[in-house]
Structure formats: C-alpha cells, structure tokens
Structure 1
Amino acid sequence: MDGITSVTRTVNYESKTRAVDSKTPVSFSLRIREVERNLVRNGSGRRENLIKQRTVASPAIGFEIPSCFLAGEETCRGYVEYALSKTIIPSWIQPFILPQICKDSNIQEGKRSGFIVEAQVEAVKETYFNNCIDLNDYDSEGRRIRAEPDCPICLQEFGRRRIITKLRCCDHSFHRDCILTWLGRKPSCPTCRDDIHNPRPKKFTQKKVYFD
C-alpha cells in the first residue's frame, strides 16, 4: 500500500425524548457505536478488499444543559461544544452530532418539566489505500482465486455497476452493501463464519522442489 487515498466519515444520529422529574430542562444520554474500516480499492473502483474493521460501542454518555444556556442558539452551541469536549466521544464525531443536539435542545426549550433526550449514534470512518497489488487474489500455490458469480447474501449476480468487497480473512466476496449490513450485526463471514477480528490462521502448502 502506497498510502491513504481518501477518508470518508458518516454519522447517523437518532433520538427520542421523554419527560423526567428533574429541575434541569434538558439532559442527554448518548450511546456511540464507532466503526473504523481500512480498505484497498482497485483503479476501477469496482473491487475492494476489506483489510481491517474495528467496532467500539460506548456505554451511555450523559450531560445536562442548564436553562441559562438555552437562551439563544449561539449560547447553546457554545455550551454543547464545551460539554462534548469533556466526554470520551472521539473528536471527529463531535462536529457531526453538535447541530443535532442543539436542535433537540431548542425543541424542548420553554417546556416546564424536565426532559431527557436519548440518542443512538452510529459513526463510520472508512480509510482507503492505494492498490499496489491485488491483495488476496492468489492462494499459497500462486493460483488465482475464482470469485463467486453471485453474492452469497442476496443471491444476485455481482454485475458491473455494484462494488464488490472481499474479506481479507477468508477471501469470500460480496456486494459491498450486503456485507457491510451483515457485519453491522455479526462480525463474521456469512459463508464460512470466520471472525473478521480474529481470523483463523491460513494453511499454506509447502511447494515441492525437484532436483535432477
């Protein structure tokens, strides 16, 4: 790998609000699920190798917003930004959820009783590297690995317009959307059940050398 070609970051924020017996008008309880992926993509952009994936789920992270900081949008934003900086939430995620938290805070402003906003955050960071060689396309004997004609998850043909992702742990290929959705639920290959975080050691066959 020659180096990083691009980094993409996406954050999904979903929240619900319920009333609580509290003098503080708005409290927040955040649960963060952070996913980091390293991938190698070939020049055409149609095939990629998932080199590494790491998933970290945090416990509930809470903080309160006193009523004096709900007087204006700028004041609220400044306090929330400060409150987030004191949490364990990764710094790259904070700017994504800051506007959402301020929006939820303003919705509750002016209500008499206290409210708690419970938010679920999924943050995905994908780092792409240059494709110097087509990783994992050959086995230990130097023979090219044949790709499956269909995606084992959706059972549809790979086609030419969809990105194909191959797992480094076992060399099985899938539609990108299919395998990323699967890995969001189970960190294992749907074909062979190999754990992507702790793959089984690959077996290498020693080549025989003949002398005259």
Structure 2
Amino acid sequence: MYQSFGNDDMDDIISTTQTVNYDSKMHAAVDSQISGSFSILIRQVERCFVRINSIRCENLMSQKTLPSSAAIVFEIPPCFLLAGEEICRDYMCNALSKTIIDSWIQVLILPKICKEAIELGKTSHGFLVEAQVEAVKETYINDVVDFNDYDSEGQRIPTKPDCPICLLEFGQSTSTIITKLRCCDHCYHGDCILTWLRRNHSCPICRDDIHNPRPNKFIPKV
C-alpha cells in the first residue's frame, strides 16, 4: 500500500490523503520477443468527510466509485530492462504518462512497477504482469462546515431554494448534500462549497472569514 498527503496552504481547511493498494500476478509471456509487459486495471474511489474537531467526529459527506475502464497495457523492451534502474524508471514513467491513469496514481504505482520489472527482467526471458490497483482519494473539510438540519419528514431545510454558487435548486441537483458554513450559516451544495474553499477562506455570499467571522452586530432595543 502506498500513500501520499496534501501539503498546500489550504491544509488547515481542506486536507487530502491518496492511497493505492497494488496486487499483481506474473505470467510467462506468450511472445518470447517481448521481455516484459504490464496489464493494469484500476478502480478509483473518492470520499469526502466533514471533520468536527471539537467532538473528534468525522461524517461521510459523499462517496463515489468511478467505473473501471479496460485494462491498460504497455510493454517494456529488453534494452530498458537491462539498462539499469534509473533508465528503466524513466522509460516506464514516460509510458505511464501517455495513459489515462491519473497522475497521482502514476506517482504511487511507479516504484512498485519499476521494482517488479527489473527483478523479473533478470530471471525471466518474457513475462506479463497483471496488476489490480484500488486507488482511494479521501478529502477532509476541517471544522468549518455542518450538514444542514432536517425537517420532521427527513427533508433537508435550506435557507434559500437555490444553491448560491451553481444557482440550481437544492432538490433538483445531483449534488444532494447541503452544507452550511459555520461562520455565517449560509448553505450550499457540498461539491460547490468544497470547490470554493479550495481557493478561498471566505463565504461566497457575505465574505466572512471562515476562521475569523465577524461578530454579530448588537442592535439595541428602542
């Protein structure tokens, strides 16, 4: 299993972990002229959590599994297998970059593929590696949002009929999770506000800073 973490300046609001589970089997190649080839099937899962630090709680906001495409196959010529680890790695890095595999997955599986190719190239005249990869990306929104409340029938209660970002009705969008900013109680689709918060520290409507909201104004009674 390989794992990487987000490390940009938004980590205090949104953090991401990326993990791959790599499982492979080796077979003798049918064509003896091919020193090595890989067949890679990838299953991708994306999850988003809302993290409430004060009570040490994490709520699953959304989860989706991307449909697996056909297995991706690429070959490694004998000259690259025998040329040393660095040259072999450069060749496979270039080969992966021409596939539809997401770049973050490429980075995590490249060391494993490179190691297998070099080891098998020393002991086998021809091989086929069939690999199955489960790639999981988990995003955490840290302590700045809440799920909206529900009414007596279990329906979410938005403060407005439409999401202020995408302008679609809350009940008619495929992004069904309604999320409320704690700093100001304004509500949005979960996917919409997540995209916004990756670039901004404020509410799209009132511009309140999500970490340092303006205090409620005191209006004295007449």
- The TM-score range, normalised by the shorter chain, is 0.5 to 0.7
Residue 113 of structure 1 aligns to a residue in which SS? Answer: coil
The answer for the alignment partner of 1:127 in structure 2 is 139
- Greater helix fraction, Structure 1 or Structure 2: 2
Give the whole-Å Cα distance in 2 for the aligned partners of 1:134 and 1:72: 53
Separation in 1, partners of 2:128, 2:122: 14
Give the % identical residues: 55
The one-character-per-residue Cα deviations of 1:25-79 (angstroms, maximum 9, x if unpaired) are 1100000111111110101463222222121223200000001111200010000
Which of 36, 40, 53 aligns to 1:26? It is 36
Amino acid at match of 1:55: T
Rounded Cα–Cα distance in structure 1 between residues aligned with 2:55 and 2:16: 15
1:40 corresponding residue in structure 2: 50
Structure 2 residue aligned with 1:16: 25
Deviation (angstroms), 1:141: 4.2
Counterpart position of 1:201:
none
Task: For CA contacts below 8 A with separation 6 or more, give which structure has more relative contact order.
Answer: 1
Structure 1: distance between partners of 2:37 and 2:88? 13
Consecutive unaligned residues of structure 2, counting only runs of 5 or more, are 1-11, 155-175, 178-222
Residues 4, 90 of structure 1: alpha-carbon distance in 2 compared, 3 angstrom cutoff? farther
TM-score (norm 2): 0.58
Q: 1:66: which partner in 2?
A: 77
Higher mean C-alpha deviation, range 40-49 or range 74-83 = 40-49
- Counterpart residue identity of residue 21, structure 1: V
Q: Could you give the per-residue CA deviations for residues 125-155 of structure 1, whole angstroms, max 9, x where no partner exists?
A: 111113334425x421499xxxxxxxxxxxx
SS at match of 2:114: helix
The letter of the residue matching 2:120 is Q
Aligned CA RMSD, in angstroms, stands at 2.3
* Counterpart Cα distance in 2 of 1:118 and 1:46: 41
Structure 1 distance, partners of 2:121, 2:54, is 51
Residue aligning to 2:109: 97
Q: For residues 100 and 30 of structure 2, what CA distance do their matches in structure 1 show?
A: 27
Amino acid at match of 2:96: L
Pair 1:139–1:95, CA change in 2 (3 A) = same
Unaligned ranges ≥5, structure 1: 144-167, 170-212
Q: Which residue, out of 94, 100, 110, partners 2:122?
A: 110
Who is 1:159 aligned against?
none
Aligned letter for 1:14? D
